Structure 1
């Protein structure tokens, strides 16, 4: 609601001269040595205008505004517009509008003006979330000196750029400031203007993707260096499986005869529910529940993680079941791959043995894609460093997608909605022998909580083929914070496994040989290394001694 203070001087200025003289005389203005009264200073007034909309106008909605020095309230008109004057206020300001169950925020940047425009929309909500580092509501609620310091022209420019990049392919905000640009919202049967139609398009994309505005805001904030995670979150999702989204994927198959076949592009269409490999007819997918889909009359099955990573269990030409890893295609800059990595790989070249096997290594990659350090590892033993070979090891952009190194290997980074980056590598030599690699950053894992229940599809690859994925449920039974270890029990047979986290390196779990027990007390299995991809619902594991056993687990929804 507009507020203002009119001084005595202003009131006098509006009166006829005779009336003014009468008032001055009555106040002692007719003579004598008494000084004339001094009018109080006129308090400054800041006026904020704009439109509140989600595509449709947010009419008759409550507007709250906090500025430096003062706050104010108002109500939008039926067309979503508002005009609030606040006495004693100065920029910057934060704004909030609530209409029904919808609450959105916006900002007016720091400055010296007495008028500011600040539209309040889902786009402004994303910008505020980016400025706040995650919590738009908290920035409005606190609005302390730290919050105010973020509301600069430069800060808003960075936030707009991040939002523009994240929404690429959905709406084009190039050169548009959604907070200040003219916004005419649809109302009363009238169409909105161009910016309002952008809001409609964003709303339609969120609905098709099964994604909420808060989820998108969190993804935008988490994906500061690579907007691909937020972009993937906006792709259309299957009605029964949020992880399965329309788009292009890379199907990584280390058993393929050539490198081109080992990294085939496939397209998924969740509306038609089809799977199409490059150069082949589309295949129908049948929903089997719990993010499992079958095709080829049930001979092949697709298991989808919440992140969009997936595994296809499909027979090869000899009808041997094989695992093909599906990685959503994303435009991820090499700079996002900078850091220290745990790498687990499986294939013929592992451990220099004649048959398939598991290998582990560590890599350090800089922002240019250059491998600056590396070492080969086996179990708990110290890793053996090797000297990077720039011509062979460094990654460069590949015209066919992803990245490639001098040895002909391909690398496909993937960014989750949580901002975590992982990468997958594939290599097939001239003889048709190859390997697949999975990499996750060397960052500390956290212990689970007692009673935590995890359901997943569990499969194991060997040279002889892939075991059909098994529906598995595990419950955490004990946690030892001192030893950084825990045990979990498998539902189907009450087998108990013990793990130590961040062994032998951060980001890995270690299961000692003989640490798995059945109800009869029989200890089973050799030593095992496990590498979860944080927040991805995708985990790989392998024998610590490098033997022929590579497991993949896909967490069920």
Structure 2
């Protein structure tokens, strides 16, 4: 018996009806059963992801798409490039931010803060090369490729790729990046940290006028990933968006 019918059969269940309907609203329309909270009819968990999309300027009113191992969603960024979504999905997710002629990618291995910048674009290039493919094939293959899912869900693998991006960019372009945990560090456009690092990379020629990684930077990270292939990986982590850095090699 569903809770709507129960409302008319037993007055004692009125409180349950109210709670169920309130939870339904909180789920954004997902089906909620009993006291288990939000969960779509397909049994996927409820995931909350937020972050900032920027290229040295905020990607305002940009379309942000989330394509996950299972499930998908979309949101619009605000005037500061910030986006937020809560939806039913199975991690990991690849984020795609589109604004005019600029399209950048990122990933989320957990719920929490996961930004999208030219640095995260290069991180996906590096990870794709480690997996013996390219970024386009990595994104397209995520829903069906278990190895892609395992690696992108593994915090250690992702943070190692993040570290490799920092190391390679600093050495090739002679810049000192102040926010090495660029994937998960909350930031505001115009302030020091992740945003000022992107500005420094643009000034050094690693990012073009459209806010996209320069082809030379893409080639650099692609070659670095090929030099450090991923053949095995540890058990995927679970938890909130992390900070810090893993190990990753310079060519």
Fold match by TM threshold 0.5: yes
Work out the CA distance in 2 between the residues paired with 1:118 and 1:224.
21
1:227-248 deviation digits (Å, cap 9, x = unpaired): 9xxxxxxxxxxxxxxxxxxxxx
Q: Does 1:50 align with 2:42?
A: no
SS at match of 2:49: strand
Contiguous gaps of at least 5 residues in structure 2: 21-31, 40-44, 229-249
What is residue 105 of structure 2 aligned with on the other side? 105
Query: Is the 8 Å Cα contact of residues 52 and 81 (structure 1) preserved in structure 2?
Result: yes
Query: Is the 8 Å Cα contact of residues 179 and 194 (structure 2) preserved in structure 1?
Result: no
Q: 1:208 to 1:215 in 2, by over 3 A?
A: closer
What is residue 139 of structure 1 aligned with on the other side? 138
How far 1:219 sits from its partner (Å)? 1.9
SS at match of 2:96: strand
Comparing both structures, which one devotes a greater share of its residues to helix?
Answer: 2
What is residue 198 of structure 1 aligned with on the other side? 197
Correspondence list, 1:180-219, <5 A: 180-185=184-189, 191-206=190-205, 213-219=214-220
User: Normalising by the residue count of structure 2, what TM-score does the alignment of the two structures yield?
Assistant: 0.67
Work out the CA distance in 1 between the residues paired with 2:62 and 2:185.
21
Q: 1:202 to 1:208 in 2, by over 3 A?
A: closer
What is residue 445 of structure 1 aligned with on the other side? none
Work out the CA distance in 2 between the residues paired with 1:217 and 1:27.
62
Q: 1:125 to 1:203 in 2, by over 3 A?
A: same
Query: Is the 8 Å Cα contact of residues 105 and 137 (structure 1) preserved in structure 2?
Result: no
SS at match of 1:168: helix
Q: 1:63 to 1:224 in 2, by over 3 A?
A: closer
What is residue 128 of structure 1 aligned with on the other side? 124
1:505-539 deviation digits (Å, cap 9, x = unpaired): xxxxxxxxxxxxxxxxxxxxxxxxxxxxxxxxxxx
How far 1:72 sits from its partner (Å)? 0.1
Contiguous gaps of at least 5 residues in structure 1: 1-6, 10-22, 186-190, 228-414, 420-557
Q: Does 1:172 align with 2:176?
A: yes
Q: 1:202 to 1:8 in 2, by over 3 A?
A: farther
- Which protein has greater RCO, CA pairs closer than 8 Å, 6+ apart? 2
1:35-76 deviation digits (Å, cap 9, x = unpaired): x99973531421110000001001111100012321000111
CA-atom RMSD, angstroms?
3.5
Work out the CA distance in 2 between the residues paired with 1:124 and 1:197.
15
- Count, aligned residues: 196
Work out the CA distance in 2 between the residues paired with 1:208 and 1:49.
24
Q: 1:123 to 1:40 in 2, by over 3 A?
A: same
SS at match of 2:85: strand
Q: 1:192 to 1:135 in 2, by over 3 A?
A: farther
Work out the CA distance in 2 between the residues paired with 1:217 and 1:208.
10
What is residue 496 of structure 1 aligned with on the other side? none
Q: 1:28 to 1:62 in 2, by over 3 A?
A: same
How far 1:226 sits from its partner (Å)? 7.9
User: Normalising by the residue count of structure 1, what TM-score does the alignment of the two structures yield?
Assistant: 0.32
What is residue 42 of structure 2 aligned with on the other side? none
What is residue 63 of structure 1 aligned with on the other side? 64
